[in-house]
Each structure stands twice: as structure tokens, then as C-alpha cells.
């Protein structure tokens, strides 16, 4: 018993120590009376959570203190947010009510906590409506952006302390984080948090790759630091001689961004040269900022030759999320390209802490970027037509995108995501302009609607009163606004055509002496395999279904269960879930007789034994097995968490699985022969296809082969790499297929 008392005393001391660290972190924003308010929130949180512990066995109160610390220190939020962070779980997890909070801390705090409580169940494991809930979560932006910022701090701390959670929970949280929270942090300008969230997700989703890159980075650390010192020396001396005060340091790239580069360029770690960036942070007065940045740029490029194609000027035109900086890539002292970022202290704080830092500098800089963004989000959310998952895709696409700046004929500046087309620009000006757009003039030259705009283009839109939105427009527009408007116009047009079709069908059925009633319309819809009666009327109006087809239906009249298709689907899915999840092990063993449960290997990632996998319950094809690092995995886990089943392989050496290898090398006589000999003769592996492309002495081939498991595959790759002339062999996934909605 005595031990327990000592233990509790030690915990009490630790809680106080953490509380004092929080006060130190919030010192710069504290005003009169703030300290007392934080103390009151802290005491309420300690009291409310006193009997609760986390999975690690630590007192639960450590979590709210840590979330408040992140909000203060890493996002730069003030007292109101610190109070809300300390109390963010109180209403949901304890007897304290919102009324209690309002009485003690006022309306604003109560409103933010209400927002946080409402979205706390957004990603509940059993929820099938994550997308719909995510929409609700974003609606809270309309009230107070701090709700989202505290939610990000909460997620960051959960990701940092996830090692005690079960594996399936780790995968699920990581998927949501990389799919939604990291892009959200990016869009709000919180680059440091975005990078850490991506790295932590990768740590759990692709454990081996993460550890491999981490180990490689540590091995070269001393050598890298020496290079950075040598690089900085002449620049620091020149800046000082010109009277510019600056901090210069090397910042390592995140593990996730290094992995992305390896995948994108299909290169091994050793060939990734920009493992760090040099950052020059100037101490400048607000009126000299721009001039000082260009002066520093001139000094850097006097010391090292710049790559003219790699200059990025976000000082003259900041990004939509407030990011300001000059980026250039220069040739370093050892014949190696080095990225250099030049910015002032104010710009750096905005780059690290995003819009939260804007509030601090409100007097000296316009805060319209955030208002503009929130306005766009609200506009999107108000559109009742959009399906929640489409909305999520569109929103996510807008989160990820970088901006381009386009001018109107009169010189007004309009911001659009990169890859935006002339048609996106038209819809950005006005819905009616977009709907009646027939073409555009870019820099006075006539271009088609799908023309991709470039930064700085001047665009004039040409319209016609006879034009209406077309289905294929959806294939090339990228802004969520354009997509939503086109979809709703097409829906309306389809509805009008369907109304005509309804009358035509009524007449045709009359001539066949078939009564026009709900039951028969339903049977017809099912007979022609259509999703709704509206589709039936539409096809009749368009002539896709004519009298001849109706006569055939009459002859083979089938009695079809009077159930809408999606209802059948849902019931099938639910019963499948019950069947599978009622198993004792709750794990799908691939290769054993799972009471005749049908499974297929997903073609989007071609899993083979040895891969880390999970099962996804579909309606028509039983269970699909995906790799956990499949291109579609994050989306499936984030949107359909309730349909995910844990899965692992059993021994199946007698079975063969299809996978793809990409081989690069120096084109040499007999190279193909050598490769096929290794595959067919040495390894006795069957090939399904071989595609080869040779360009100026460079050989590139893709081979689809059947292997038993990952060990078999790794040995084959190792052996192929030893073939003279081969420079690289990598496994590849098939192109990502559209994600499974309800199939």
C-alpha cells in the first residue's frame, strides 16, 4: 500500500511539473487574469479525470496537458485555446456539462468545447458515416477555426503516444491521419505538424520502410552536419559583412517526404540527394522584409551557382495559406544540389504555425487568406446535393493543391489550385459564366475549355446562351465549386428529360396493356438493371429502351423482390460483417477454409503471402484482400472502417501469386535473354507478361510474375539485380483503381 502512496505522490509532482511547463510555453500570450483562468481549467480537468488512466497506464490528465502544450507552443494559440484544450474531453468523458463550463469560463469557451465534443466521434471505429461526420467537423470552422486547431493538437498527441494501442487501431488512426488530418494541417499552413503527422502515420503503416530510412539517415548524420557547416560558412560571413542579421541552419527532410521521392522517381535511398534544406532566417524590420530577402538571395547565389528553373517566389505572391518564402536550389561545394529557403522571422513563424501566427501580426499583414478559405469551405458545405464521399474527395483535393495566380482581363487576381482549367476559372468568376462557357482566350490566344492554366495567365471567358454543362466536363475540372455546380446542373437536366420519358413510358405500357403502377415500374427498373425509376424514364426518353425491349420484358416477366437495390446491398453487407466478425479469432486466415467465405486478392495492390494485409468486405465479391500500404488503403480504412477485417496469411507454398517488377538498366545485347533465364530457369517462376521499352541506350521493362510469397520475391529481386547491366529492380502495384464504394 505504501508503494502506491509514493507512486501517487510522484505522479502528482509530475502533473505539476507538466503544468508549469505549459505556463512557460504560454507566457508570451498571457494577459491580466489569464493565469488564473488556466489554473481554474487545469484544476477542473485534474478533478474530472482523477480516476482515469490511458492505455499506457499513465494518468489520463497527461493527455489534456500535452494537447494544451502543443496548442500553445507548436501552434501558438492563446489562453482561450489553452483552456479549451485542457477541458476538451471533460464534457464527453465525465459528469461535467456544457452549462457548467459556460458558467465557469464564459460563452466562447463553451462554444469551442461544444464543437470539439460534437466532432469527437467523427472517426468512431464502428461508424460508417465518417465522411458525413467530417463534413460536420468542417462546419465547425464556420464558428471557430480554433476547434480544428485543437483537434489537430489532440490528434498529434494521440499519434505520438500510440505504441500501446492494438495494431488494427494503429492502422486505422494512421490511415485517417494521413488521409484527412495531415492535408488539413497543410492547408492551415502548419507545415511542421503536417510533416510529423505523415511521419508518424508511416511509422505504423509502413514500419519496415520507416525504420530503414531512419537508420540510413542516422548513419550519415555526422557527414551531413559537416557538409552543412562548410556550406553555411561563406554565406554567413557575406551576410554579416552586408549588415544583415540572420540565423542559418540545415533542416532535415521528413522521412515521409524522402519515401515519396523514392517512390515518385523509383530510386533507392542512396540516390536521394536533397535529404535536407538550408534555411536562412533574417531579422528584418517589417518595411525591409522583401528587400532583405532578395539581398540575401543575391548573396547566396554569389557564393553558389543557382538552378534558374528552381526559383520559387512566395514573397511577392504568398500562398493561399499565408506561406511566404524564397526558395532556390544551388550547386553546393561538393557538386550536389542544395535547396535554400530564405525568409524573415515573421515569415518563418507563419510557416511553422500557420494562420494562428497571423493573428499575432494582424496589424502588419492582411488576414484575408483564412477568411477567404473558410468562406469557400462554407460555400461547399451549403450545397445539399453533394454526396458525402464525393464531397470528401473534392475537399481533400482542394486541401492538397498548391495555388496558381490567374488574372482577369481587367487585371484582378484570382487564386486557383494548380492544374485548374479555363473552365474552373469560368466557374470561379460566376456559376452562370461557367455553365455557359464555350471557350476562353488565354493571353489573347483561343484555347479549349480543358486548357490547363499556368501561373500568371490572363484569361477571358467566351460564353454562349445556348451552352449547357456537359457530363465530360467532370473529367477535367479540378475545383470543388465547378464540380458541385456541374453535377447539380446535370442532375436538373436529367430530371427534366426523365419527366418526358415518364409520359412516353406510360403511353408505351398502355399500348402493351401493362398497367402503369409503382410495382411494375419497380420490376422494369430491376429488369433493365437500373438504379432508380428516374434512370428508367431517362433511358426511355433517350431511346435506349424502346418498345421492342418492353415486349421482351413482357415475355420474360420476372417477379423481382420489391426492395430497392441499396437496401439489399446494405443488408448483404451487414450479414457478411456479422458472419465474419462473429468468428472467435476476429482474424481472416487467408488460405484456410473460412466456412466457405469467399475472398479475392485486390488487383490495385496484388498482395502476396508475407505482405501486411487486411480484408475489406464488399457486396458482390465477398472479401477483398489489400496490402496495408495499398494506394487505396488509407481511403478504405478512413471511410469504411466498419467493413475492415484483420487478415493474415497461412503457409501456402504450393500457390502462386501475381506481382509486378519494374526493371531498369543499360540496354545490352542479350539482356532480356539473361533476365528470362533467371526468372524461368533458375527460379522456375512463371511469367505472365513482359513489356520492354528502350530509349537511347536505357532499358526499361515491366514483368508480371507468379511468386509464392515475399521471401520468394525478395530472392528473385536480389538475383535479378546481379544481372550485368541491370541498375534497378522494384516491385510495383497496379495503377490505383477507383476506390470501392459499396461494391
398-425: per-residue pLDDT in tens?
Answer: 665 667 778 888 777 788 888 899 999 9
Q: What is the signed CA dihedral for 627, 629, 635, 636, rounded to 10 degrees?
A: 20
Domain boundary among 531, 555, 579: 555
Quick one: pLDDT at residue 313?
A: 92
Is residue 305 located within the same domain as residue 247?
A: yes
Residues 3-31: pLDDT tens digits?
444 477 888 889 999 999 988 988 877 78
Q: Tell me, what's the pLDDT at 342?
A: 96
**Mean pLDDT, the chain, as a whole number?**
80
Report the alpha-carbon distance of residue 90 to residue 251 in Å, rounded: 38
Give the residue-averaged pLDDT of 109-125.
69
Q: Does 126 share its domain with 249?
A: no
C-alpha 67/C-alpha 87 separation (Å) is 10
What's the 3-state SS for 213-232?
A: HHHHHHHCHHHHHHHHHHHH
**Are residues 300 and 405 located together in one domain of the fold?**
no
- Do residues 55 and 96 both lie within one domain? yes
* Residue 598 · residue 622 · CB < 8 Å: yes
At 697, which CATH number? Answer: 3.30.70.260
Task: Tell me whether residue 247 is in a domain.
Answer: yes
- Residue 304, pLDDT score: 92
Stated as kind and residue range, the H or E segment containing 414 is strand 413-417
Clarify whether residues 262 and 378 are in a common domain.
Answer: no
CA distance 438 to 423: 9
* pTM metric for this prediction: 0.69
Residue 210 lies in a domain: no
- What span, in angstroms and rounded, lies between the C-alpha atoms of 147 and 306? 43
The yes-or-no verdict on residue 564 having pLDDT over 50 is no
pLDDT of residue 739: 40
Phi-psi region of 406 (alpha: psi -120 to 50; beta: other; left: phi over 0): beta
pLDDT for 27-66, tens place per residue? 877 788 888 999 999 999 999 888 888 888 888 999 999 9
pLDDT exceeds cutoff 70 at 580: no
pLDDT of 278-326, one tens digit each? 999 999 998 999 999 999 999 999 999 998 888 899 998 888 777 899 9
DSSP state of 590: E
Pair 354, 284 in one domain: yes
The strand order across the sheet containing 599-601 reads 587-590, 644-649, 613-617, 623-627, 599-601
212, part of any domain: no
Q: Are residues 39 and 157 in the same domain?
A: yes
- pLDDT tens figures, 202-240: 999 999 999 999 999 888 888 888 989 999 999 999 999
Residue 350 pLDDT: 82
Instruction: Give 126's pLDDT tier (boundaries 50, 70, 90).
Output: very low
Domain annotation covers residue 589: yes
Query: Of the candidates 180, 205, 230, which is a domain's last residue?
Result: 205
pLDDT for 661 beyond 50: yes
Residues 171 and 64 in one domain: yes
Asked if 135 and 251 sit in the same domain, the reply is no
Does one domain contain both 272 and 290?
Answer: yes
C-alpha distance across the termini of the chain, in Å: 57
Q: State percent of the chain over pLDDT 70.
A: 81
- Looking at per-residue pLDDT, the higher value among 91 and 327 belongs to 327
Instruction: Enumerate the active-site residues.
Output: 92-93
Residue 281 lies in a domain: yes
d(CA 255, CA 202): 8
Under 8 Å between Cβ of 569 and 619: yes
Predicted local distance difference test score (pLDDT) of residue 168: 86
Instruction: Please indicate, yes or no, whether residues 442 and 305 belong to a single structural domain of this protein.
Output: no
Same domain? 467 vs 433? yes
Tell me which of 171, 205, 239 is where a domain ends: 205
738, pLDDT greater than 50: no
Parent domain of 272: 218-365
Count of domains forming the chain: 6
Q: For residue 326, is it within any domain?
A: yes
DSSP secondary-structure letter at 739?
P
Contact assessment for residue 174 and residue 166, using Cβ atoms and an 8 Å cutoff: no
Place of cell 466557374: 427
Amino acid at each position: 500500500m505504501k508503494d502506491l502512496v509514493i507512486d501517487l505522490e510522484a505522479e502528482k509532482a509530475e502533473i505539476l511539473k507538466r503544468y508549469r511547463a505549459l505556463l512557460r510555453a504560454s507566457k508570451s500570450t498571457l494577459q491580466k487574469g489569464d493565469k488564473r483562468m488556466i489554473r481554474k481549467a487545469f484544476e477542473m480537468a485534474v478533478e474530472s479525470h482523477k480516476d482515469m488512466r490511458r492505455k499506457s497506464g499513465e494518468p489520463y490528465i497527461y493527455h489534456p496537458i500535452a494537447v494544451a502544450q502543443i496548442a500553445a507552443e507548436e501552434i501558438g494559440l492563446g489562453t482561450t485555446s489553452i483552456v479549451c484544450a485542457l477541458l476538451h474531453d471533460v464534457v464527453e468523458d465525465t459528469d461535467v456539462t456544457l452549462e457548467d463550463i459556460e458558467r465557469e469560463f464564459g460563452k466562447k469557451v463553451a462554444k469551442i468545447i461544444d464543437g470539439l465534443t460534437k466532432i469527437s466521434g467523427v472517426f468512431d471505429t464502428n461508424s460508417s458515416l465518417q465522411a458525413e461526420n467530417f463534413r460536420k467537423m468542417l462546419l465547425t470552422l464556420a464558428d471557430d477555426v480554433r476547434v480544428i486547431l485543437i483537434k489537430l493538437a489532440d490528434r498529434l498527441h494521440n499519434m505520438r503516444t500510440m505504441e500501446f494501442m492494438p495494431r488494427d487501431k494503429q492502422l486505422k488512426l494512421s490511415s485517417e491521419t494521413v488521409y484527412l488530418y495531415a492535408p488539413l494541417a497543410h492547408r492551415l499552413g502548419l507545415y511542421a505538424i503536417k510533416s510529423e503527422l505523415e511521419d508518424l502515420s508511416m511509422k505504423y503503416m509502413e514500419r519496415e520502410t520507416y525504420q530503414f530510412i531512419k537508420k540510413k539517415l542516422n548513419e550519415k548524420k555526422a557527414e551531413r552536419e559537416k557538409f552543412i557547416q562548410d556550406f553555411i560558412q561563406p554565406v554567413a560571413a557575406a551576410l554579416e559583412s552586408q549588415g544583415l542579421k540572420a540565423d542559418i541552419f540545415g533542416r532535415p527532410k521528413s522521412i515521409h517526404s524522402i519515401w515519396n521521392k523514392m517512390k515518385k522517381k523509383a530510386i533507392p535511398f542512396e540516390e536521394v540527394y536533397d535529404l535536407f534544406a538550408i534555411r536562412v532566417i533574417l531579422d528584418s524590420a517589417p518595411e525591409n522584409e522583401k528587400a532583405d530577402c532578395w539581398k540575401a538571395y543575391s548573396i547566396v547565389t554569389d557564393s553558389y551557382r543557382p538552378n534558374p528553373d528552381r526559383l520559387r517566389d512566395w514573397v511577392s505572391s504568398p500562398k493561399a495559406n499565408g506561406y511566404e518564402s524564397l526558395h532556390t536550389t544551388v550547386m553546393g561545394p561538393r557538386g550536389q544540389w542544395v535547396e535554400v529557403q530564405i525568409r524573415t522571422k515573421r515569415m518563418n513563424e507563419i510557416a511553422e504555425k500557420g494562420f494562428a501566427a497571423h493573428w499575432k501580426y494582424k496589424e502588419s499583414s492582411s488576414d484575408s487568406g483564412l477568411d477567404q478559405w473558410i468562406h469557400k469551405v462554407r460555400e461547399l458545405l451549403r450545397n445539399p446535393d453533394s454526396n458525402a464521399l464525393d464531397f470528401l474527395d473534392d475537399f481533400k483535393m482542394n486541401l492538397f493543391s498548391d495555388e496558381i495566380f490567374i488574372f482577369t482581363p481587367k487585371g484582378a487576381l484570382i487564386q486557383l489550385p494548380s492544374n485548374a482549367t479555363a473552365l474552373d476559372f469560368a466557374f470561379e468568376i460566376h456559376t452562370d459564366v461557367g455553365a455557359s462557357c464555350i471557350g476562353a482566350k488565354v493571353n489573347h490566344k483561343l484555347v479549349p475549355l480543358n486548357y490547363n492554366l499556368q501561373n500568371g495567365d490572363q484569361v477571358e471567358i467566351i460564353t454562349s446562351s445556348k451552352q449547357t454543362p456537359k457530363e465530360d466536363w467532370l473529367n477535367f475540372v479540378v475545383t470543388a465549386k465547378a464540380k458541385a455546380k456541374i453535377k447539380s446542373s446535370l442532375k436538373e437536366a436529367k430530371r427534366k428529360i426523365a419527366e418526358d420519358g415518364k409520359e412516353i413510358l406510360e403511353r408505351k405500357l398502355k399500348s402493351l396493356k401493362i398497367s402503369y403502377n409503382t410495382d411494375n415500374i419497380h420490376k422494369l427498373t430491376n429488369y433493365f438493371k437500373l438504379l432508380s425509376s428516374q434512370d428508367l424514364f431517362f433511358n426511355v426518353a433517350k431511346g435506349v429502351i424502346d418498345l421492342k425491349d418492353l415486349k421482351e420484358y413482357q415475355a420474360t416477366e420476372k417477379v423481382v423482390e420489391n426492395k430497392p437495390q441499396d437496401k439489399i446491398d446494405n443488408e448483404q453487407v451487414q450479414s457478411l460483417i456479422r458472419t465474419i466478425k462473429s468468428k472467435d479469432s476476429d482474424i481472416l486466415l487467408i488460405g484456410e477454409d473460412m466456412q466457405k467465405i469467399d475472398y479475392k486478392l485486390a488487383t490495385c495492390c496484388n498482395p502476396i503471402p508475407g505482405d501486411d494485409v487486411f480484408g475489406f468486405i464488399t457486396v458482390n465479391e465477398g472479401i477483398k484482400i489489400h496490402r496495408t500500404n495499398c494506394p487505396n488503403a488509407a481511403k478504405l480504412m478512413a471511410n469504411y472502417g466498419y467493413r475492415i477485417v484483420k487478415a493474415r496469411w497461412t503457409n501456402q507454398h504450393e500457390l502462386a501469386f501475381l506481382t509486378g517488377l519494374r526493371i531498369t538498366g543499360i540496354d545490352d545485347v542479350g539482356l532480356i535473354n539473361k533476365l528470362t533465364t533467371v526468372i524461368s530457369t533458375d527460379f522456375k517462376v512463371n511469367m505472365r507478361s513482359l513489356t520492354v521499352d528502350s530509349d537511347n541506350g536505357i532499358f526499361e521493362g515491366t514483368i508480371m510474375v507468379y511468386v509464392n510469397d515475399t521471401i520468394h520475391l525478395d530472392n528473385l529481386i536480389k538475383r535479378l539485380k546481379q544481372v550485368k547491366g541491370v541498375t534497378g529492380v522494384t516491385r510495383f502495384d497496379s495503377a490505383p483503381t477507383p476506390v470501392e464504394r459499396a461494391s
